[in-house]
Amino acid sequence: HKPYIDNIKIKCSKCGAAVERIPDVGNPWLDAAIVPYSTMHYITDNDYWKQWFPAEFITESLPGQFRNWFYSLLAMSTVLENTAPFKTVLGHALVKDEHGNDMHKSAGNSILFEDAADKIGVDVMRWMYTAHNPEYNLNFGFEIADEIRKKLLTLWNMYSFYITYAKIDRYDPTQQQVAYEDLSDLDKWALAKLHAFVKEANADYKSYRVDRFMRKFKVLLDNMSNWYIRRSRRRFWKSENDNDKMGAYYTLYTILRTMITTIAPIVPFVSEAIYQNLVLSVDKDAPESVHLQDFPTEDESKIDHDLLNKIDTIIKAVEMGRSARNKANIRTRQPLANILFKVKHEKEKAYIIELADQIKEELNIKTVTLIDDIDTYVSYEAKPNFTTLGKKIGKQMPQVVQGLKNIDGAVIAAQIQRGESIVIDGITIEPGDINISIKEKTDVVAVEDHGYVAILDVNITEELKNEGFGRDLVRSLNNVRKEDKLDVDERIDFSYKEASNYVITISSSMQSYIEKETLSNYRIDDIPNPDFENKIFIGNEKIIVNIKRNKKT
């Protein structure tokens, strides 16, 4: 190091003269910063150089490079051309371990790239990096990668579902298209979601905010897998190839092809694998790779905002109903009598009335009721958000706690929902500094979300209990079908080799439902020479079921 190195002289191996260190040596980042000029014929072919300058995009870690590479690039380009050498720069934060600590070999928490690529997979790693907000440090590790992999598997399972049934029905999207006006509202909603997403995807890619794109992609993935496919499942199951079934195939094919094209830059290998079988196997005129396709463009005429609001209202109601079930610890297969909803807008009431049957089916509820007054069932309770408010008001916290107790919780909740501040003894409290919860008064379970309330009747009658057992039986029989590796469209005969009178009674009373849901014929008499014998356990009931293949459809 200077100045001591300057006192050392060595003998030149060629001429024998004493040589010493060159006195002026620049930071090695200067070599990187001069690249726009040193490697693209800036001096020898300036017209060629202008084709490439300035760079469209550069990215590096902000903490490490804003004083090195970024600054050096700007300094050199300012001197040579009096202009910025890049149009867009993305400075990102650091990579930490799963717990937010620096990675060090000595700490034993460092992960080699090769190990990560082998164990995690490159597409999962790319998803992890691009989905992260670059403003914050990225916690990297194998457990976090497992959560990302589940999302990627959701996309693969959507593709697998389509391929399975399209193969059975020999569906060809190039020959069996359906006109938009002939599609169902569910199909049109899915396409509206898709085209609205494509519009935002183009904007996010162009603005280099891929993290925003990925957040929207995950929402779309959830909408398509947890709503569209689930609501359409029976359309693929039915035997007749009518226009409704073709509409479901056409819509799902369009969804999948568009989704893999938009995400191909992020997960290039999975998207290519899906493309090869989904598209090229049926469309010989398609580009030979997903990466050779044009990026999708939105069709504004298919973005039906009224339809989006209608279905989104139903999805929100169903999500709140599921939250209430989870809070009550009652599984969805157990039917319940009633759920009550309080919504914020008159239009939402009309949507819920119109599509109440979908809510009933999704939540396994007998009745859906709209209410304006929830005081009979629940009360609101307001408490300070101690984490955020404590930093702001310190020792004044006790009087705020007492002040909130002295005000009707419903009044505070209404103000919070309108985005208004609360004033207690001259202390102004922002909406984000108050937590609102609801307390049930009667035999119900309730959930609240920004003014929307779902109240679930949790009384289970004997009749509802029996129906729930029948649904458990259907699930168990379908699991048996999977264990026996039966085709998804293969019909069976089944009978009980061993079952209680209760099981037989339920099976007889719900025979039509059970047979429809399991592609089966229930036989009261025992099946001779069954193909399979399986044990089923539902609660305290042990059942031995015999199954015979029946190829007739």
Tell me the pLDDT band of 419, cut-offs 50, 70 and 90.
confident
Residue 280: phi and psi, rounded to 5, are -65, -25
pLDDT for position 553: 46
For 344-348, 378-382, 546-550, which range has the lowest pLDDT when averaged over its residues?
378-382
Can you list the positions of beta strands (E) in 430-515? 434-440, 444-449, 452-457, 491-498
Q: Alpha-carbon dihedral of residues 100, 104, 110, 113, nearest 10 degrees? A: 110
Question: What does the alpha-carbon distance between residue 539 and residue 537 come to, in Å, rounded to a whole number?
Answer: 6
pLDDT for position 1: 77
Question: Is pLDDT at 104 greater than 80 in this prediction?
Answer: yes
Q: What percent of the chain has pLDDT over 90?
A: 62
Question: What does the alpha-carbon distance between residue 156 and residue 122 come to, in Å, rounded to a whole number?
Answer: 16
In this structure, what token pair is assigned to residue 114? 């090769």
The predicted model scores a pTM of 0.81
In this structure, what token pair is assigned to residue 465? 């209990």
In this structure, what token pair is assigned to residue 553? 């459809």
Helix (H) or strand (E) holding 427: strand 427-429
Tell me the pLDDT band of 110, cut-offs 50, 70 and 90.
confident
Q: What percent of the chain has pLDDT over 70?
A: 99
